[in-house]
Amino acid sequence: MSSKLRLDELLVRRGLFRSRSKAAEAVRSGKVQVDGKAIDKPGKKFLEDAHLQLIEHKFVVSRAYYKLKKALESFQVVVEGTRVCDLGASTGGFTQLLLER
């Protein structure tokens, strides 16, 4: 019987990532599915023979995009038809997300 491993460790062992930190980042960003289900916890344990799939995502300007997307979804914020001004000093993840909505 197969033993269970952390998802980030399993991704590294299979050669899909060079480090656990890069694997964990991909998991948290929603880029990994295990047995057909999206997983966002890199420490969750799975059998060694679990089916892993990397999901290609479109280009985003920053990781903040994913954080803001989750916040907007969690709080059910509707931005359509509103006027917004991004006064941030970063790469524009918030603006990219708002333009998509």
Residues 9 and 45 in one domain: yes
What domain range is 15 assigned to?
4-54
Residues 49 and 68 in one domain: no
Residues 32 and 11 in one domain: yes
**With bands split at pLDDT 50, 70 and 90, how would you rate the model's confidence at 98?**
confident
Beta bridge partners of 34: 37, 52
Compute the distance between CA of residue 30 and CA of residue 55 in angstroms, rounded to an integer: 8
In this prediction, residue 68 carries a pLDDT of 86
Percentage of residues in the chain with pLDDT exceeding 70?
Answer: 97
Pairing of strands 32-34, 37-38: antiparallel
pLDDT in tens, 38-79: 999 999 999 999 999 998 766 777 778 888 888 998 999 988
Residues 50 and 13 in one domain: yes
- Is pLDDT above 70 for 1? no
**With bands split at pLDDT 50, 70 and 90, how would you rate the model's confidence at 28?**
very high
In this prediction, residue 96 carries a pLDDT of 85
Residues 9 and 31 in one domain: yes
Of 1-10, 19-28, 73-82, 84-93, which range is least confident? 84-93
Say if 43 falls within a structural domain: yes
Residues 8 and 43 in one domain: yes
Total count of domains within the chain: 2
